[in-house]
């Protein structure tokens, strides 16, 4: 009888240990997935931030006159010798409408468009959910007059393409640029 109780007690303790190890393994996998998602989100934000930052610094490069074509909250267009080829280009930075890209499950993700000389091929989503530009004059005051814009502020919001613990991971990036050529 004592042997039977010992076997049942050992089985119970062994079963509890197996359950603890399984829960630890599940928790470890969830943490790994969340960490990978956040890392990918930060990488995507950094990539898109570099593209936009580089383009904003080139506004008006090698152009005489008012280099800014259009300055809206979700769309910015300008003239520049963007690739230093000696040929003037028109560059537009914008995002898609509310139609989400087909390769993401997040309904808020948008496609980023970097249109150079009317080449409207879409860019990547990179988990972008919103892009907003604001414009300031030389005193740092908000303005909408194209010829008085001296500073351009870009704000980008990102959300992961898949949920982590029933929520989307989020990130935000912001930069204010004073292009030397305007």
pLDDT at 69: 95
Look up residue 43 and give its two tokens.
Answer: 């990488």
Average pLDDT over residues 72-86: 93
d(CA 136, CA 154): 12
Least confident of 42-46, 51-55, 131-135, 177-181: 42-46
Q: What's the whole-number mean pLDDT along residues 34-44? A: 84
Q: Which residues of 136-153 are buried (b: 16+ CB within 10 A; e: fewer)?
A: beeeeeebeeeeebebbe
Q: What is the DSSP letter of 148?
A: G
Residue 119 lies in a domain: yes
Domain presence at residue 153: yes
- Domain extent, residue 15, equals 2-177
Position 22 in a domain: yes
pLDDT digits (tens, 9 = 90+) for 105-120: 788 888 888 999 988 7
Is 182 contained in some domain? no
Burial of 28 (0-12, 13-18, 19+ CB in 10 A): exposed
**Inside any domain, residue 107:** yes
Residue 11 pLDDT > 80, yes or no?
yes
Number of domains in the chain: 1
Is the torsion defined by CA of 59, 69, 176, 95 positive or negative?
negative
The reported pTM is: 0.80
Strands 112-116 vs 89-95: parallel, antiparallel or unpaired: antiparallel
């Amino acid at each position: 009888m004592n042997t039977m109780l010992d076997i049942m007690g050992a089985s119970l303790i062994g079963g509890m240990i197996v359950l603890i190890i399984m829960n630890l393994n599940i928790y470890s996998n969830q943490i790994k997935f969340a960490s990978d998602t956040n890392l990918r989100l930060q990488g995507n934000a950094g990539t898109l931030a570099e593209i936009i930052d580089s383009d904003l610094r080139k506004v008006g490069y090698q152009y005489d006159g008012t280099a800014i074509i259009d300055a809206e909250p979700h769309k910015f267009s300008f003239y520049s010798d963007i690739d230093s080829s000696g040929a003037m280009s028109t560059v537009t930075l914008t995002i898609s409408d509310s139609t989400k890209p087909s390769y993401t499950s997040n309904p808020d993700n948008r496609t980023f468009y970097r249109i150079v000389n009317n080449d409207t091929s879409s860019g990547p989503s990179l988990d972008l959910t919103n892009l907003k530009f604001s414009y300031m004059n030389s005193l740092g005051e908000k303005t909408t007059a194209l010829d008085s814009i001296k500073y351009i502020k870009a704000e980008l919001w990102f959300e992961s393409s898949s949920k982590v613990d029933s929520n989307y991971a989020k990130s935000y990036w912001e930069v204010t640029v004073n292009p030397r050529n305007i």
